[in-house]
Amino acid sequence: MSAHNGGCLCGNVRYKVTGNPEISAACRCRYRQLRTGLAFGALAYFNNVNFEITLRKVKKFNFTSESGNQWETFFCDNCATS
């Protein structure tokens, strides 16, 4: 089983994922465009049992998209990496 570690730019948030994503895609919705500043966003969703936050200093932001979908996103409270 593969394992990958990642985190924010400053290192205050770290995570570990194992296995393969349940869903991976490129999304061109307006929410992703606004969030990333790009034409699309790359997505990888892992099952909760395969995702672990190992160091956490985050803030939460709730957002309603133009289509009425509710989103909850977390980002580093220091460098703002999501």
pLDDT score at 14: 94
What pLDDT score does 46 carry? 92
Question: Looking at this protein, which amino acid is placed at residue 8?
Answer: C
Contact 13/22 with Cβ under 8 angstroms? no
| Residue 8 burial class via C-beta count within 10 angstroms: exposed 0-12, middle 13-18, buried 19 and up | buried
Tokens at 7, concatenated: 């985190």
At 18 the pLDDT is 95
Give Dmax over CA atoms of the chain in angstroms. Answer: 39
| Residue spans of the chain under pLDDT 70 | 1
> What pLDDT is attached to residue 1?
65
